[in-house]
Amino acid sequence: MDLVRVQKNIGYYFKDIRLLRTALVHRSYLNEKDKLPEITEHNERLEFLGDAVLELIVTEYLYLRFNEPEGYLTSLRSALVNYKTLGKIGQKLGLDEEILISKGEREEVGQG
Amino acid sequence: MDLVRVQKNIGYYFKDIRLLRTALVHRSYLNEKDKLPEITEHNERLEFLGDAVLELIVTEYLYLRFNEPEGYLTSLRSALVNYKTLGKIGQKLGLDEEILISKGEREEVGQG
């Protein structure tokens, strides 16, 4: 896990680097036999928080940018914030290479 | 619509009072025969934005307050942020008396 590279790619340097490390641990990794002993926490609590942050950022952007009815804005948001789009952005940022995930899960995600 | 009373009840005074006025206009009101001529906009775009703000506020609170798994936090959030609970809070703040809504819709909401 190259946290310097990740921070460079996302253009943000963490005050508490442990947050970034935890954010890159998929739940499945903690059951791997050869896992790093210092990794004990997965990213699901951070994901719960991050989803709401992302939702507000995108919502505010669309609200300010488009003077359109709620239904239109909701459709736009669904087109932007979803598994596929976020997956692509993650790949562009090289997060797919840095995330700690079990071998089985990685194959499944790769096919998805 | 007594906007002074609403601001007193919620403990916040708006820089742009038009935002508060629009926030209190239900879509159905705009079709009422005896509607106030100066009211031309309903609250659905603001609701789109407000839902995301509320979601983040509650999510951050739960994340910081409870060191529990994501599933538990999600359940807690659903129990807090829903039609019924928000309706009660709205009533406590006296918003039900101030909102502009068609007579038909008001009866339906009152029964719900």
pLDDT over 70 (residue B111): no
pLDDT bin (cut points 50, 70, 90) of residue B40 is: very high
Express each pLDDT in A35-84 by its tens digit: 999 999 999 999 999 999 999 999 999 999 999 999 999 999 999 999 99
**Is the minimum CB–CB distance between B89 and chain A shorter than 8 Å?**
no
Q: What is the pLDDT of residue A87?
A: 93
Sign of the CA dihedral B9, B11, B13, B14?
A: negative
Task: Compute the mean pLDDT over every residue in chain A, rounded to the nearest whole number.
Answer: 94
User: Which residues are CB-neighbours of A94 under 8 A, at least 6 positions away?
Assistant: A5, A6, A9
Contact of B40 with chain A, judged by CB distance below 8 Å, is answered with no
Where do the domains of chain A lie? Answer: 3-111
Phi and psi, residue B36, nearest 5°:
-65, 130
Q: Closest Cα partner for A85 from A1, A77, B61? A: A77
Domain A3-111 CATH assignment equals 1.10.10.10: no
For residues B56 and B102, what is the distance between their CA atoms, to the nearest angstrom? 31
d(CA B99, CA B22): 10
- Per-residue confidence (pLDDT) for residue B76, from 0 to 100: 97
Query: What are the residues facing A25 on neighbouring strands?
Result: A100
Higher pLDDT, A27 or A106: A27
Give the gyration radius of chain B's Cα atoms: 16
Residues in chain A within 8 Å Cβ distance of B44 = 69-70
CA of B108: how far to CAs of A78, B104, B112, in Å? 30, 6, 6
Residue A112 pLDDT: 52
Percentage of residues in chain B having pLDDT higher than 90: 89
Contact A56, B56 (CB under 8 A): yes
Of the candidates A49, A43, A52, A19, the residue with the CA atom closest to the CA atom of residue B63? A49
Percent of chain A scoring above 90 in pLDDT: 89
Best to test chain A binding among B56, B60, B63 (most A CBs inside 10 Å): B56
Confidence label for A111 from pLDDT (cuts 50, 70 and 90)? low
3 state DSSP class of B69: coil
Distance linking the first and last C-alpha atoms of chain A: 23
Mean pLDDT score across all residues of chain B: 94
> How sure is the predictor about B97, in pLDDT bands with cuts at 50, 70 and 90?
very high
- Residue A22 — very low, low, confident or very high, per pLDDT cuts 50/70/90? very high
Contact B52 A60 (CB under 8 A): yes
pLDDT in tens, B41-81: 999 999 999 999 999 999 999 999 999 999 999 999 999 99
Beta bridge partners of A100: A25
d(CA B90, CA A72): 27
